[in-house]
Chains A and B, each alone.
Chain A
Amino acid sequence: MNKLVLLLINFYQKYLTILSFGSCRYYPTCSSYAKTQFQHNNFFKAFLFSSYRILKCNPLFDGGFDYVKIKSPTKSKINLEFKKIKVKYWLVPVDEDRCFILKHNTKWDK
């Protein structure tokens, strides 16, 4: 199910963005927000949050930064030994058990 949605989002981002180009009031944009949601959360949660985000994306709201929140990974998954790894995402803790998820940009490596 999530895969199907991701396929649709990819299609949208590739071909249809031109119609709505530069209209999103948020960072990351609604489509990439939804993409991350569907990649990391279950369908219902992702659907709910993505819909909420799109509903908020209008001139009556301020817009701005709004990252996807996910459940914090368990301790065992944390790279405590500081081994050199290939960074894909940055997880920024929000509270006890949740964190923001930010996509890593390879350009930041330099």
Chain B
Amino acid sequence: MSINTNNINKEKTQKKILIATALSFAFFIAYDFLYLQPKQAAVTELNKQNAIQQTTTQNSAPTTVNNSVTTQNSAPTTNTVVTTDIVSTIETKNNIIKIDNLGRIAQVTLKELQYVDEDNKQLHLFEQNQLRPLEVRFANTATNNEAFKVNVVASLDKIDAINSVQKLILTQNLTNTTLTKVLTFYPDGHYDIDISSTNKEEFFITPGFRPNVLADMYADHGALLTLNDGTLNIIEDEDMEKSAELVGVNVASAFDRYYATVLYNYDVSMAVSVMKDINDSPNLFIQAKDGISLHGYMGPKKYKTLVALDERLSSVIEYGWFTFIAKPMFTMLQYIHDYVGNWGWTIVITTILIKLILFPLSHKGMVSMNKLKDLAPKIKAIQEKYKDDKQKSSMHMMELYKKEGANPMGGCLPIILQIPVFFAIYRVLLNAIELKGSEWILWIDDLAVMDPYFVLPILMGITMFLQQKITPNTMTDPLQQKMFQFLPVVFTFFFLWFPAGLTLYWFINNLFTIGQQYYVNRIFNVAREERHDKHLEEKHHNKK
């Protein structure tokens, strides 16, 4: 009796867990839609208003060890730039760069065709009310205040760097010093900057606040610094406790999911102050003393583009925890893509390759799983006999497997191995700008965004369900079985808003598992029928 109530209780708790899981999924989705998204919209709206109304943003220079500037500065805010504020416009092959009246980069517009937003408009990298790239802050408060009031003089107001390297000189004449920025723009869209001040006036320069094209909770966004000793520092947005100072830096980057603004110099290392802004997000300031030379890049974190600038610059693409496996994964994808030329098919081929590598393991598992089908009566007997004692039942099962030389289970290792592989693919497909605007077949015209008609996620769910149906399982607990059947539904929900490329991977993966299982099942069925026929024949023969 006590066992019975126990079981009932257990079933009840399991049911509760099941319901709780379903409810929490529903909650998160609802929360995201009804609360987070409107809130985000509200925050951006608020930010805009703040920027216009309040003139108390901290435009002071970061403090250094030998120079403590703590006063806040009521410099002009970074208002939305009206066209008259633009002193120079540079057009390269890949982008259009606008320089504002304080010598900062006001906006970068990407020219390449794949970089468009939902309304098919060209992408602008930067939010107007954020810290702008190439903003200079002087250590001396008075000079700093003045610098935010005096317009710079540009040597040219329109520059055509589409086919040739072009120079722009920005000069700012202040009472104590003259600041000169010499910018060299290259046709590929990157630039060099040589900046200096007279009278040994110390200052800082920033790569700017990160682009704000796509910054969501699915991938990191914030600041990234690589050091000469090979270490990588990532400071995520809204996560800073206190400002920090780093030395020996060779790359200072601020990034969202796909885009980054980078200042780098591999020959002379930089000292960088990481300041926290009102949202606890990082603002990077490179210590320039009275002059510094840097290289700069603002645009998509595309592997080939970055590597073309400097082999080592690929480090600004980061995949989080699983970088060690995600990086080779990306290299493989890139390699296949060079041959295939289409990212959709690249994903399909990669999936097949991974399946092939895991084939010996999965095949062996499937074969012994099927062997077990023949032992079904014996297993049933064991299960009947030890109905109330799961432990004993599984012990006897194990004995049976041993005797028959068939162990149906795939093992824990294959499952554990699959987890990092999946996460790596997930991160790569989530972070790879290469997928942006790359189409596959029929309705899929951008693998980096979700399937607009939810076809792939639903196909994924169906194949997952079929895969479970076709796979012989040894589950005995009906409730556990029910929970297992519930999994495809959960996964479908999960995948609804995932990038199409990722869903495609999962779908193809399921498809091939089904194929493999079907093949194994058939071989066994044929073998069984043959045995059956033989058996009948023998019987027949004996009768005679």
Residues of chain A having any CB pair with chain B under 8 Å? 15, 18-27, 29-30, 54-65, 105, 107-108
Contacts and interface: CB of A to CB of B under 8 A. Distances in A.
Nearest to A66: B398
Contacts of A54: 412-413, 416
Contact of B392 (A21, A64, A105): A105
A107 B386 CA distance: 11
Contact of B412 (A15, A23, A107, A108): A23
Given A18-B483, A59-B361, A107-B388, A23 B407 contact: no
B412 A18 contact: no
Interface residues of B, number: 31
Contacts of B475: 21-22
Contact of A64 (B407, B413, B473): B407
Contacts of A25: 407, 409-412
Q: Which 7 A-B pairs have the closest CB atoms?
A: A59-B364, A58-B413, A58-B411, A57-B412, A57-B411, A27-B398, A63-B407
A26 to B, nearest CB: 8
Given A18-B480, A25-B410, A29-B412, 11 more contacts: A20-B412, A21-B484, A22-B409, A24-B411, A54-B416, A55-B413, A58-B413, A59-B407, A60-B361, A65-B402, A107-B392
Interface in B373-413: 388-389, 391-392, 394-395, 398, 401-402, 407, 409-413
A60 B484 CA distance: 26
Contacts, number: 85
Interface of B: 17, 360-361, 364-365, 368, 388-389, 391-392, 394-395, 398, 401-402, 407, 409-416, 473-475, 480, 483-484, 487
Contact of B411 (A15, A63, A105): A63
A19 to B, nearest CB: 8
Contacts of A18: 480, 483-484, 487
B473 A22 contact: yes
A25 B372 CA distance: 13
B394 A27 contact: yes
A59 B474 CA distance: 16
Contact of B415 (A20, A63, A107): A20
Contacts of B415: 19-20, 23
Given A21-B484, A105-B392, A62 B414 contact: no
A65 B398 contact: yes
